Amino acid sequence: MKIQFKREDILNAVNTVQRAVPSKTTMSILECILISCEHDKVRFTANDLELAIETEIGADKCKIMETGAVAVEARVFGDIIRKIASENNSDILMESDGSIVQISCDYSLFKIQERDPDQFPALPELRKNIYMQMSQYILREVIKDTIFSVAVNDTNKMMTGELFELKGDHLRVVSLDGHRIAIRNVQLKEDFGTAKAIIPGKSLNELSKILTGEADKNVDIFLEDNYAMFRFEDTVMTVRLIDGEYFRIDQMLSNDYELKAEVNRKEFIENIECAVILIRESDKKPLILNITDNKMDMKLNSVVGSLDSSLLINKSGKDLMIAFNPKYLLDALRVIEDENVSLYMTNAKAPCFIRDEEGKYIYLILPVNFSAGSY
């Protein structure tokens, strides 16, 4: 195999697929990137058996002199490419003799051991029956708006994934971690049928980092029993789904409320951020919201100090004193783009809903217990 690459093209390909290389594995071949060269393209692949990423460089972007395939250790190969690309403006030449891979550029020459490409696990074949399409911008925004509610480590594996629920021309994406729920509703351009898939949050997080986020570039999404595939530009990401039945979200949602408070989002965030300054990582102190008339008083006491602040609001319904983990409020408020947000509450023990009139987003946050006498 012998190929000459533009440095930015090979650098982008390596950085893209390296996101699927596991940090720890008992199968050493999974620590490698598979590079396979045909007459019309060069394909880079990484696969940790849960997430696989494949990206291509077409023959119009590189000079293919000899075809073939090699597997190289991802960490070493990636470090070499990044080092060369940062110090040279010239093309990068890569060639293999069946045992050693040479990477050269200007006056730099690296030689690394190659691995048997036949040992690299094949990607799953998908029938591509259930399909939908949306812009890269919308998909990246949907992931950003929900990923913070995914449990990082949990005995309930369902909480580490997000539900993608397709019904005709409507997609609902749901995440929860036991303390809160994030929901985004997306109107699609056409009817794509029905499907459900629970996609690992870790894989979605990696996907959001690869997407360019351009509104005029689309992502094709295929959902099957065990896998989801995301295809965009020259890249394909294949994800193993979480098996099982997702939580019955509709039973947790309610339109009933006894208090509605409309507040300026930016001012609300600024006041909560002031409170967070006084909270140590190990100190789980709640933020108390005392809502009366057209004012919201916010109080927090910690071992570091205390805060009292007030915010003008538009209120309808009864007065209420309720407490929350301030981080959960911030996570939801920071991804909302509306100037004002509406909070719907019933009592100090029931969840708070933050939602818009159009139903584009819903955030449910559970309150925490507190002693009203202490405030």
**What tokens were used for 72?**
């190289």
Same domain? 16 vs 110:
yes
Domain membership flag for residue 340: yes
Same domain? 204 vs 277:
no
Same domain? 282 vs 365:
yes
Domain membership flag for residue 125: no
Pick the last residue of a domain from 89, 119, 149.
119
- Ranges in the chain, pLDDT < 50: none
3-state secondary structure the chain: CEEEECHHHHHHHHHHHHHHCCCCCCCHHHHEEEEEECCCEEEEEEECCCEEEEEEEECCCEEEEECEEEEEEHHHHHHHHHHHHHHCCCCEEEEECCCEEEEEECCEEEEEECECHHHCCCCCCCCCCEEEEEEHHHHHHHHHHHHHHCCCCCCCHHHHEEEEEEECCEEEEEEECCCEEEEEEEECCCCCCEEEEEEEHHHHHHHHHHCCCCCCCEEEEEECCCEEEEEECCEEEEEECCCCCCCCHHHHCCCCCCEEEEEEHHHHHHHHHHHHCCCCCCCCCCEEEEEECCEEEEEEECCCCEEEEEEECEEEECCEEEEECHHHHHHHHHHCCCCEEEEEECCCCCCEEEECCCCCEEEEECCCCCCHHHC
Domain membership flag for residue 233: yes
User: Are 200 and 242 contacting, i.e. CB atoms less than 8 angstroms apart?
Assistant: yes
Same domain? 353 vs 273:
yes
235-291 pLDDT, tens digit each:
999 999 999 999 999 999 999 999 999 999 999 999 999 999 988 777 778 999 999
Q: Distance between CA atoms of 269 and 258, rounded to whole angstroms?
A: 24
Residue with tokens 């190929």: 3
Q: Distance between CA atoms of 335 and 341, rounded to whole angstroms?
A: 12
Give residue 374's pLDDT.
Answer: 59
Same domain? 318 vs 370:
yes
Same domain? 272 vs 211:
no
Domain membership flag for residue 177: yes
Pick the last residue of a domain from 119, 149, 172.
119
Same domain? 236 vs 258:
no
141-182 pLDDT, tens digit each:
999 999 999 998 877 899 999 999 999 999 999 999 999 999
Beta-bridge partners for 173: 164, 184
Give residue 60's pLDDT.
Answer: 95
Q: Distance between CA atoms of 79 and 76, rounded to whole angstroms?
A: 5
pTM for the model stands at 0.93
User: Are 359 and 350 contacting, i.e. CB atoms less than 8 angstroms apart?
Assistant: no
User: Are 334 and 273 contacting, i.e. CB atoms less than 8 angstroms apart?
Assistant: no
Pick the last residue of a domain from 232, 250, 268.
250
Domain membership flag for residue 124: no
Number of domains in the chain: 3
Same domain? 164 vs 245:
yes
Query: Sign of the CA dihedral 368, 157, 225, 189?
Result: positive
Same domain? 296 vs 228:
no
Same domain? 86 vs 11:
yes
Same domain? 138 vs 81:
no
Between β-strands 108-113 and 92-96, what pairing exists: parallel, antiparallel or unpaired? unpaired
Domain membership flag for residue 81: yes
Q: Distance between CA atoms of 160 and 200, rounded to whole angstroms?
A: 6
Give residue 85's pLDDT.
Answer: 87
Domain membership flag for residue 34: yes
Q: Distance between CA atoms of 179 and 151, rounded to whole angstroms?
A: 10
Domain membership flag for residue 346: yes
User: Are 274 and 307 contacting, i.e. CB atoms less than 8 angstroms apart?
Assistant: yes
Going by C-alpha positions, the residue among 362, 183, 342 that lies closest to residue 259 is 342
Same domain? 90 vs 195:
no
Give residue 373's pLDDT.
Answer: 61
Q: Distance between CA atoms of 260 and 270, rounded to whole angstroms?
A: 21
C-alpha dihedral (350, 351, 355, 361), degrees to nearest 10: -150
CATH number at residue 282: 3.10.150.10
Range of the domain at 339: 254-374
Q: Distance between CA atoms of 55 and 231, rounded to whole angstroms?
A: 10
